[in-house]
Amino acid sequence: MNFSAVLNNVLADAFEKAGYDRSYGKVSVSNRPDLCEYQCNGAMAAAKTYHKAPIQIAEDVVKNLEGNAVFATAEAVKPGFINMNISTAFLSEYCQDMADKAHFGMELPKKKTIIVDYGGPNVAKPLHIGHLRSAIIGESIKRILKFMGNEVIGDTHLGDWGLQIGLIIEELKERKPELTYFDPNFTGAYPEEAPFTISELEAIYPAASAKSKEDPDFMERAHDNTLKLQSGDPACTAIWQHIIRVSVADLKKNYDNLNVSFELWKAESDAQPYIPDMIQSFKDQGIAYLSDGALVIDVAEETDKTEIPPCLVVKSDGASLYATTDLATIIWRMKDYHPDQMIYLADKRQDLHYTQFFRVARKAHMVEEDTKLNFIGFGTMNWKPFIRQPPQNPKKIRISWSVRMTIR
């Protein structure tokens, strides 16, 4: 019997013995931990029914708790609370019993295949502290689900297909224009060796990102590179492969240090082969339409409390977006693993993105009706990159986070 059921039972018996209905015997974790560990507010509720002072009822019940094995102390306090502390002997016996049983005595639910999408680092960008949360919470969820007997597959879903690659290519071109990748007449094989080290790479991205915000021409060239990569340009593809190789080797080291490991190191780009047919199928099903040159799908539902805008699936220049790769990723996941559930972990500010592409996935029948899609959004931390750039003065660092998670 689970712990709270044991506690409830003891209280229900005590209420019943005192002549009150068992249903009032509900125990909750104390909201005054300075006073007690557990509390029962049932006497207050019972007072109305029995036309008695709540403290009177609480005292009647407490009398019946004398000598019980579960609570070391039980006290009636005004206006009618029952404050309790657990007996250490009972606690140790209960824990020992759990430890002796397979799966801590838990009844295992039916085995499911579950993909947990967590970590979510972006190649070439240093890990942000938010990625630490995704890694740790995701790894914990994965281990718990595995412990419960499920087939669980963890996937990093590397961010390797977006604008950051185009930005890096552009910055690399400015720094090392002599590289063969930038010679339009070059027809030979590109070098095996990466044209940068991880430290250089991590300096390149922030520099490129800063430039793109100030220089619209630079940004446009970065967009062009991204588009070229997404359409299979050999030079962009060769640089992109180097970025991935250098980055992934470094990421693996970091995750190893955290004792986080992934069954799959798949990336956004692994979805690329499925994108053209997927887009065609959205069109064939009549759910996608052009809006200002971009292809969008309506996902608003009548019951929405806030406005859910259409999901953007292809940009007006033909480039894929975050939602495009996430949708196409569902295709290979269903084909290769046929999961009963897919759980995604990311910063909760990405909530809208998940709402939108989950709805598209259902609308376009990309998953079974009973395939569960969950987004676990965690709060933010306001301290930037971790691991590679230790703070100058660690005492000055304040990390704040919100512990609440939204689980849908």
- Residue 293 beta carbon to ligand ARG: minimum distance, rounded to whole angstroms: 25
- Residue 283 beta carbon to ligand ARG: minimum distance, rounded to whole angstroms: 24
Position 139 contacts ligand ARG (CB under 6 A): no
Q: Within 312-341, which residues bind ligand ARG (CB under 6 A)?
A: 326
Quote the CA–CA distance of 225 and 243 in Å, as a whole number: 14
Quote the CA–CA distance of 71 and 88 in Å, as a whole number: 9
Q: Tell me the pairing of strands 406-407 and 372-378.
A: antiparallel
Task: For ligand ARG, give the closer residue by CB, 60 or 117.
Answer: 117
- Among the residue ranges 35-43, 117-125, 250-258, 396-404, the one whose residues contact ligand ARG (CB under 6 A): 117-125
Distances (CA, A) of 232 to 162, 165, 182, 325, 357: 14, 13, 15, 16, 25
- Residue 312 beta carbon to ligand ARG: minimum distance, rounded to whole angstroms: 15
Binding mask 346-365 for ligand ARG (x = CB under 6 A): x-------------------
Residue nearest to ligand ARG (CB): 120
Quote the CA–CA distance of 118 and 128 in Å, as a whole number: 14
Position 250 contacts ligand ARG (CB under 6 A): no
- Residue 101 beta carbon to ligand ARG: minimum distance, rounded to whole angstroms: 36
Q: Which of 39, 122, 164, 226 binds ligand ARG (CB under 6 A)?
A: 122
- Residue 122 beta carbon to ligand ARG: minimum distance, rounded to whole angstroms: 5
Q: Biggest alpha carbon distance in the chain?
A: 94
Task: For ligand ARG, give the closer residue by CB, 60 or 326.
Answer: 326
Position 117 contacts ligand ARG (CB under 6 A): yes
Task: For ligand ARG, give the closer residue by CB, 14 or 132.
Answer: 132
Task: For ligand ARG, give the closer residue by CB, 39 or 247.
Answer: 247
Q: Is residue 309 within 8 Å of residue 301, measured between CB atoms?
A: no
Q: Identify the sign of the CA torsion 399, 400, 404, 405.
A: negative
- Among the residue ranges 116-124, 228-236, 237-245, 310-318, the one whose residues contact ligand ARG (CB under 6 A): 116-124
Q: Which of 25, 154, 159, 377 binds ligand ARG (CB under 6 A)?
A: 159
- Residue 269 beta carbon to ligand ARG: minimum distance, rounded to whole angstroms: 12
- Among the residue ranges 115-123, 141-149, 237-245, 300-308, the one whose residues contact ligand ARG (CB under 6 A): 115-123
Instruction: For residue 31, give the DSSP letter.
Output: S
b/e sequence 54-92, b meaning 16+ C-beta within 10 Å = bbebbbbbbebbeebebbeebbbbeebbbbbebbeebee
Task: For ligand ARG, give the closer residue by CB, 18 or 244.
Answer: 244
Structure-block tokens of residue 383: 């301290």
Position 120 contacts ligand ARG (CB under 6 A): yes
Binding-site size for ligand ARG (CB under 6 A) equals: 8
Q: Which of 24, 36, 154, 157 binds ligand ARG (CB under 6 A)?
A: 157
SS3 annotation, 278-333: HHHHHHHCCCEEEECCEEEECCCCCCCCCCCCCEEEECCCCCECHHHHHHHHHHHH
Structure-block tokens of residue 110: 């039916």
Looking from the CA of 286 toward its CB, the CA atoms found within 13 Å total 0
Quote the CA–CA distance of 221 and 145 in Å, as a whole number: 45
Angle at the Cα of 242 from the Cα atoms of 191 and 127, rounded to 5 degrees: 160
Position 170 contacts ligand ARG (CB under 6 A): no
Task: For ligand ARG, give the closer residue by CB, 117 or 270.
Answer: 117
- Residue 329 beta carbon to ligand ARG: minimum distance, rounded to whole angstroms: 7
- Residue 254 beta carbon to ligand ARG: minimum distance, rounded to whole angstroms: 14
Provide DSSP, 66-123: TT-SSEEEEEEETTTEEEEEE-HHHHHHHHHHHHHSGGGGPPPPPP-EEEEE----BT
- Residue 192 beta carbon to ligand ARG: minimum distance, rounded to whole angstroms: 28
Residue identified by tokens 């002796």 is 100
- Among the residue ranges 77-85, 114-122, 143-151, 240-248, the one whose residues contact ligand ARG (CB under 6 A): 114-122
- Residue 118 beta carbon to ligand ARG: minimum distance, rounded to whole angstroms: 8
Give the dihedral of Cα atoms 306, 310, 316, 317; nearest 10 deg.
Answer: 90
Structure-block tokens of residue 381: 């931390």
Binding residues vs ligand ARG (CB under 6 A)? 117, 120, 122, 157, 159, 326, 344, 346
